[in-house]
Copies of this chain bind each other. A is one copy, B any other.
Amino acid sequence: MNWKKLRTAVLLIVSTMVLASCGFGSSSSSKSSKYTTTGDANSGTYEGVIKNGKYQVSKSRGVNVAQNDNTFNLKSFESGLLNVSKKVFSTKSYIFQEGQYLNTDTIENWLGRKSKSNKTGLNPVKGKTNGKRNPIYVQQIEEQDYMKQSGDNLKLHGITIGIGLNSVDYYRKTTNGPQYKQKISDADLRAYGEEAAQKILKRMRQKKGLENVPIVIALYKQASNDSLVGGTFFEYSSNKGTQLSSWKQMNVKNAVYPKASDATTSNSDGQTDNNTFDNFKSQVQSFFPNLSGVTAQAQYQDGDLSGMHITVTTQFYSETEITSFTQYISQAAAKYLPSGIPIDIKIQSSQEMQAFVYRDSGQSKFSSHVFDSY
């Protein structure tokens, strides 16, 4: 949209002038805050907020890093929450800002168990209910803010809150003791998550400036710690008041290919896609003399394959081998992998990524790049 580009351009010039007058690395001392944005590198992604030349980081920065033993849960939680937000706040009209209303202390308290010293804890008291240990249900919480231009400033027009709910709770009875795990059923984590969502909504409505802003709350089921793919969001609620409105269901599933040979083999369970992937894998492995590891993360939305992240690991003996292998994989990907969905393929040695083949959303051909060196 033209007004948006113009605005970005104007803000950029203003920002550059501020930067130029202040010198690099210093924060602006001007009275009114100067905003600009990161620019949208790709369509379908949000621009991010830059304040006085610096990226505006989250007020609870880093909390979720510590909350996730499986880093796949960290990445998929944040990317998934962006995708939920896109259903409500269009990337064309809204600008993304890292959460500014819930700070580290607040989130850490909320993630704790409820106790005398932590009345806001969203997790149950440790004590047993019906003879069973109460697990930790709420594992991570993320706030994302959605802004619109308002005169010289940006104004909050929406918030999205993600709640990550354990499907398995890992715990120790003593500090250095063995690790135990407690499974949580889908029904239980959903019920507990919906209760927590209602509490969070009420608490946020009490904060200054959040009385009337649209607040989306989305529930995410954490993958287990040994999973090779992260969890998924399964429902969200878009709210204008203090009482939660109805939940909208999301049908997102993740899979890892190739499947273990003892996995279920019904077509509905991605067996066709697994076979397709196996074909691609066999082609790649027969092409190159060193055995290549070929694995994929796949995502399904409403039952349809919506994208893949593929990793090919092998040993290379020369730069020309990397180049030829990359060309071959581009060709094999176009021939053997499903069309019409975004796919990226990392080509790496044991040390580091050597090349990269990808087809982004909306592109019909694969592009590639070899990481060369002078």
Contact = CB atoms under 8 A, between A and B. Distances in A.
Interface of A: 12, 19, 24-26, 38-42, 45, 47-48, 50, 53-55, 57-58, 61-62, 64-65, 72, 74-76, 78-79, 82, 96, 98, 142, 144, 229-230, 254, 282-283, 285-289, 297-299, 307, 309, 317-321, 323-328, 330-331, 344, 346, 352-353, 356-358, 360, 366-369, 371-374
A358 B367 CA distance: 12
A228 to B, nearest CB: 10
A286 B54 contact: yes
- The DSSP consensus for interface residues of chain A is mixed
A325 B79 contact: no
A366 B289 CA distance: 35
Contacts of A25: 282, 285-286
Nearest to A42: B368
A297 B369 contact: no
Contacts of A317: 57-58, 61-62, 65
29 contacts: A24-B282, A24-B283, A24-B286, A38-B324, A38-B328, A39-B327, A41-B330, A41-B357, A41-B366, A47-B327, A50-B328, A53-B287, A54-B286, A54-B287, A55-B287, A55-B288, A55-B289, A61-B317, A72-B373, A78-B320, A98-B321, A229-B373, A229-B374, A297-B373, A307-B374, A309-B374, A352-B353, A356-B356, A358-B369
Most chain B CB neighbours (cut-off 10 Å) among A285, A360, A369, A373: A373
Nearest to A278: B24
A145 to B, nearest CB: 11
Contact of A318 (B19, B61, B229, B230): B61
Please give the count of copies of this chain that the complex contains.
2
A258 to B, nearest CB: 14
A369 B374 contact: no
A54 B324 CA distance: 11
B287 A50 contact: yes
A198 B42 CA distance: 53
A172 B297 CA distance: 49
